[in-house]
Structure 1
């Protein structure tokens, strides 16, 4: 497991998008055009699981649950499938922890999150929030 410390003053919603976006972007370099699927989200209060052959979208209810737990300093975990790669993302306070079968991918994601985490507005594709279900992106 690799960890990235976020030092910038980033809004919690931006932290979520930043983490998911850079996992998607970096995993695409090794897995190609495979689908990016959020299979499970575990918060301190709920577990959200995707349906069979579907993936979770960050609907208002799920996003509010994630943000509530982040605001209360509780760990939020994501289980992501990208092609053959299973990637774990954990966000707690200002730390991101990433786990992947390919250690080099894990390290690459952590390094990118740490560098982007120094910015107030980390770089992401403007269409990505909608792709994962977020309608109102700050």
Structure 2
């Protein structure tokens, strides 16, 4: 796993906050969900908005900006809470191996490229297989089981 992290600028953080608030209220915009994970040092629940992707009945979340705080917290905790405030449920989060990521990243890019363009390690829906494999190590992907 590489340590790439594309930090959001002020406007992106503002939009993320709005979408997080909506997701916590149970309003999903283009597949968004509220994800809560315990902080590595404080133990405080941190909430972010993620795109929940379902492939063959299995659920995945992707950290397109790279090794973000929520990705590091999820890796450390191994468990996250998913869903709106009143209907949260805890699930186990298992990091996907780099070799298994390319097919998932392609599906993610096909669905959400319009939203995450410029923050997915330079990938586009038309990126070659070699480009996707090369970038896979810098994009955390978790299966929620």
Q: TM above 0.5, one fold?
A: no
Higher relative contact order (CA 8 A, sep 6+): 1
TM-score by length of 2: 0.31
Larger Rg: 2
TM-score by length of 1: 0.32
